Amino acid sequence: MDTTYLHSEHGVGTQPHRIAQPLAGDWSAQLGWFRFYFDDDRWVWSSQVERMHGYKPGTTAPSTLLLLSHVHLDDYQRVAATLYDARRKHHPFSSHHRIIDTRHHTHDVIMVGAPFYGADGTLLGTHGFWLDATPLTQARANNPATRAADKQRAEHRQQRIRAATQC
């Protein structure tokens, strides 16, 4: 794990600081990469992405069908449309959605991708990263101050809706 020392007005700190501080613990297990080749509809996943989906590295052949089979039902249409548009329009994309791994655990994930090209400039597909934000989401959900703030925002939202609809 790469570490660096914090610089401050008092000089260099004495404690190592992980560069990826927003993610708790060993963040490298929460970040993986993918490639999707347009011509043969082929996915390549890093071992981290395979693990996010519940597979042992090297034991699965990723496909669009497999990827979508893991997407939470409530997020499915949006994710399927995002992937379809990325392939058809060749635009960068991002998606924040949930997946269900092979052990039936839900993961809060962020997928970010952009087109990639061959040495001759030919469009080959899209590539990018998966981030399993579940630890961050769980930490937020378990924080009493965050829960109180979320509750207050929900109450304000309900008040605005009532005022707008006069209900």
Helices (H), ranges, 90-143 = 134-141
pLDDT at 3 > cutoff 50: no
pLDDT at 141 > cutoff 90: no
pLDDT at residue number 160: 77
Burial class (CB in 10 A: 0-12, 13-18, 19+), 38: middle
Q: Which two three-digit tokens encode residue 83? A: 């992937």
pLDDT at residue number 19: 35
pLDDT at residue number 161: 76
Q: What is the mean pLDDT of residues 71-82?
A: 97
5-19, 63-77, 91-105, 149-163: least confident range? 5-19
Determine the Cα–Cα distance for residues 109 and 23; give it in Å rounded to an integer.
13
Nearest residue to 52 (alpha-carbon basis) of 117, 132, 129, 142: 132
pLDDT at 8 > cutoff 50: no
Q: Which two three-digit tokens encode residue 73? A: 């039902």
Q: Quick one: which H or E segment has residue 50?
A: helix 47-52
Residues of the chain with pLDDT > 90, as a percent, come to 61
* Residue 156 CB contacts under 8 Å (≥ 6 apart), including other chains: none
pLDDT at 137 > cutoff 50: yes
Residues of the chain with pLDDT > 70, as a percent, come to 72
pLDDT at residue number 149: 67
Question: Does the model's pTM come out above 0.85?
Answer: no
pLDDT at residue number 155: 78
Q: Confidence class of residue 20 from pLDDT cuts 50, 70 and 90?
A: very low
